Structures are given as structure tokens and as C-alpha cells.
């Protein structure tokens, strides 16, 4: 998991990053989009997922998959990905603000929960 849009990022905003296949000879990649600030995906909110087909069967780390994120002023998030060097593999996902993005109140609540959890972790490490 990696963070592509940080909290308080000025919008509109776009960013891209290239990932690589994480298994030997996989033929598709699953792209999952989460919202949240936790370090593990399972503690964040899943907004959507899609499959990028057409990965050539190669050893782990040999296939490049560029992923682009674009967030507009209306809160519409578009995510697209494709297999570098392969025709017809581009797939995308559009997530509208009313379809899953957290409200300001939910963001504040989760931020407080995260701070409380981090404080608890620090306290437990000291004791």
C-alpha cells in the first residue's frame, strides 16, 4: 500500500506512480483504492477496485504498471492503470464524492482515533 494523495492536498491534484508485478508470472493486477490515513489497508475505507488484465507472464518485478490518480475540485477521483508496453490494457475507475468519500466530520473522528491509537502505541513501547 502506498499513499498517493496526502491530507490537506490542494485540489485539483494529479499524481502517478509506477508499480511492478508482485508475483511471478501473474497475468493481471488488482488495483484497490482506499481512503484513510492508517498504515495498513484493512484499517482504511475501500472506495473501489478494478482489474488490469494483460500482464505478460514474467518473474516478479519485471512488469511495469503505471497508475495515475486525479482528484478534481468537485471531489471526483479518477484512477487509471495500464501495463507498460502492452496495447489495450488500460482500465480506470471513477469515484464520485457522494459515493464513498468521508465527510469532514468522519475525517476529524478518524484523525482523533488515529492520534489516540498512536499515543497508546507510544505509551506501550515505553512501559
Element (H, E) at 112: helix 104-126
Q: Which pLDDT belongs to residue 35?
A: 84
Phi, psi of 48 (to 5 degrees): 175, 170
* 13-101 CATH pick, 3.40.50.460, 2.40.30.20, 3.30.930.10, 2.60.34.10: 2.60.34.10
Instruction: Give the three-class secondary structure for 97.
Output: helix
| 65-91 burial code (b ≥16 CB/10 A, e <16) | bebbbbbeeeebbebbbbbeebeebeb
Residue 100: band (very low, low, confident or very high) from pLDDT cuts 50, 70, 90 = low
List C-alpha distances in Å: 120 to 39, 78, 107, 110, 123. Answer: 16, 36, 20, 15, 5
Domain chopping of the chain, boundaries: 13-101
127 has pLDDT over 60: no
| Contact partners, residue 109, CB within 8 Å, separation at least 6 | none
pTM assigned to the model: 0.70
The pLDDT tens digits for 46-92 are 888 999 999 999 999 999 999 999 999 888 889 999 999 888 889 99
Amino acid at each position: 500500500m502506498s499513499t498517493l494523495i496526502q491530507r490537506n492536498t490542494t485540489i485539483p491534484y494529479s499524481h502517478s506512480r509506477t508499480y511492478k508485478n508482485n508475483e511471478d508470472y501473474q497475468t493481471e493486477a488488482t488495483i484497490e483504492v482506499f481512503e484513510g490515513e492508517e498504515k495498513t489497508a484493512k484499517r482504511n475505507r475501500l472506495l473501489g477496485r478494478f482489474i488490469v488484465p494483460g500482464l505478460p507472464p514474467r518473474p516478479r518485478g519485471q512488469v511495469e504498471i503505471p497508475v495515475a490518480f486525479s482528484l478534481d475540485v468537485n471531489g471526483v477521483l479518477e484512477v487509471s492503470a495500464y501495463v507498460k508496453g502492452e496495447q489495450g490494457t488500460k482500465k480506470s475507475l471513477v469515484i464520485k464524492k457522494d459515493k464513498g468519500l468521508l465527510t469532514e466530520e468522519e475525517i476529524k473522528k478518524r484523525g482523533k482515533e488515529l492520534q489516540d491509537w498512536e499515543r497508546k502505541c507510544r505509551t506501550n513501547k515505553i512501559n
